[in-house]
């Protein structure tokens, strides 16, 4: 669903969009570029979250040691 909106765009950006739009309308090209930009931002956020999650190497080692000890304990039962 498309909703008409009004945005102000820098002239240099508009010129580049019009040069690269090909057979599509300017609106279609802008929508394509915005979707790509949003996807890129999402991937960057996920990358940052993953880096933060895996940055705690010592915590991961402790977690792995706990898991191994738990498995040995279950094996004895």
Query: In this structure, is residue 48 part of a structural domain?
Result: yes
Q: Coil, strand, or helix at residue 57?
A: helix
- Its domain, for residue 56, covers 13-76
Per-residue pLDDT of 14-71, as tens digits, reads: 999 999 999 999 999 999 999 999 999 999 999 998 888 777 666 667 778 888 888 8
**Is position 1 within any domain?**
no
Distance of CA 75 to the CA centre of its chain: 41
Residue 59 lies in a domain: yes
Q: Is residue 42 part of a domain?
A: yes
pLDDT at position 15, please?
Answer: 96
State how many domains the chain has: 1
pLDDT for the residue numbered 63: 79
Is residue 7 domain-resident?
no
Q: Can you say how many angstroms the Cα of residue 29 is from the centroid of all Cα atoms in its chain?
A: 21
Q: Which residue has the tokens 């991937």?
A: 43
Residue 45 domain-assigned?
Answer: yes
pLDDT value at residue 29: 96
Q: Does the residue 8 lie in any domain?
A: no
Report how far residue 67's alpha carbon sits from residue 69's, in angstroms, rounded to the nearest whole number: 5
2 within domain boundaries: no
Q: Would you give the DSSP letter of residue 2?
A: -
Here the tokens at position 14 are 């508009």
């Amino acid at each position: 669903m498309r909703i008409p909106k009004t945005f102000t765009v820098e002239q240099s950006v508009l010129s580049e969009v019009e040069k690269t739009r090909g057979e599509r309308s300017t609106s279609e090209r802008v929508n394509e570029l915005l979707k790509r930009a949003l996807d890129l931002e999402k991937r960057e956020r996920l990358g940052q979250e993953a880096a933060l999650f895996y940055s705690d190497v010592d915590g991961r080692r402790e977690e792995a040691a706990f898991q191994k000890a738990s498995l040995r304990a279950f094996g004895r039962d």
